[in-house]
Structure 1
Amino acid sequence: MTGRVLNESLRRRKDEEVCQYESLDNSIRKLDDSLTETHSREELLEQNARLKDELSRKRHQLNAVRSQLHVEVQKKNETEEQVVALRNQMAADDARKIESIELLQAGIEELAELPTLRKTFHALEKHLKVYERKPYTGILPEAAGEEFGISIRHKETFQAMAEELSELRDFKKTYDSTAQGLSTLRKQYPSLESVAEELSLLQNLKSTYEATVQELHSLREQVAGFEIIDEKLSALRKRKAGLESKLGKRWNGDADRAAYPVNKKMSRRVESNRNTA
């Protein structure tokens, strides 16, 4: 009886210990799970902190790259502005060089015509001095006045021609200064002296040459106008000779004959008029 009770007591105690052991085991497992979870959370926190630090470093690097990129963009814009300014300066230099070459070419062509114009002017000036002597006075005032009026117009034409020659002299000074400017440009910009650029400039100057040729034609027309005036004066001399022959008046000496020469054809006409009279 006592042994049975003791066995039951031991079995109950064993069952209780087993229950306590199981309860303790469950508690230990819970503690292990909680410890494992806590450890994982700390690792996640550490990893998150590391990621935040790395993200911050990346942001600083990105900001540095952005700043450097901004500086590069500013440098690029400044460089582009400098390139544009340099292109504009080169274009202005090209325009000045083209203008200088145009002036030089026009000056060369006009100076080539200057000796001919000068000879014509001197010849007309000598001719005017002959007609300004006015040897015929008192007999035919209308004819004399008419000749004197033509002489005045002729003189005005000569004065205009002298003014044009003065302008040509002024242009020669401009030509000399332009030649010096062109020499300076050639020294400053030797790269602009290539053959291709010179050919291009010559093509651009074609219109200027044509305009200069037109101006020279105009000058030739003016010279032709002087010749017409000379023909009118010659006709006036013939008219005077005819009037004089009708009135029986001769010229005053050999000097007047030299001043108003009469050709052979005119002499024959005067002689025939005298015979008729």
Structure 2
Amino acid sequence: MPELPEVEVSRLGISPHLLDQTISEIVVRQRQLRWLIPEEIHQLHGQPITAIRRRAKYLLIETPKGVAIVHLGMSGSLRVLDDPPAPDKHDHVDLVLKNGKVMRYNDPRRFGAWLWCAPGESHELLEHCGPEPLTDAFSADWMMERAQNKRVAIKTFIMNNANVVGVGNIYACESLFSAAIHPTTPACKISKPQWQQLVTDIKQVLAQAIAQGGTTLKDFSQTDGKPGYFAQELQVYGRAKEACHVCGEPIQQMKIGQRNTFFCAHCQR
């Protein structure tokens, strides 16, 4: 599933092609994604694209008439095509620009979304999101305050979008390893120095992943078709029973909140 770095890489990839361009048409071949694509999405016709932002794992394509909210789901991807071939069965949405380019949305599993938000309104999916992890709003003080009396596992806590957005499974595992914190530690038991380290490591891990083009697992590739390379840097995720790069002990795997969790029991206490 594309996580925050992959979504940010997609934003960076499509922005030079879409920003300040005018939409001539939006072609919807399959309305039934995770949610039904609303008819209001066709208000994009004839609209200039004034901004392309990311909030959590959602891409926001802004126009004077409103905002298209795009989520890549489990297997969604975006391509900007100069001379688009005939669409295949998983090419569900085309955003056609007046200059002839097409941004094509492909989603084999159809767990993604295209939603609509009118000007001046907020969408319910974004109303309760916590701070962005790469901003100053995401801090040790903020997380300590949120974690008071919370006995939930720290891995579950940092993956909760109400506390901080976009720290998905891969990057939660990697950040906790970097901070030497065991993933089952209750959030309320994390000390101020540990929070300072963990916040720093989350920022560094996400920034590194973005710089390297996102992590390629099964479904993600960049908008230019090139894969991400962060998978070559993974310290624990997907490395069950392999030797820890730091201590040599085997990486362990367990389920936390029904998510596969990878950690080093020797390095993470």
Identify the TM-score tier after normalising by the shorter chain: under 0.3
Structure 2 length as normaliser, TM-score? Answer: 0.20
Between Structure 1 and Structure 2, the one with more helix by share is: 1
Structure 1 length as normaliser, TM-score? Answer: 0.19
Between Structure 1 and Structure 2, the one with more strand by share is: 2
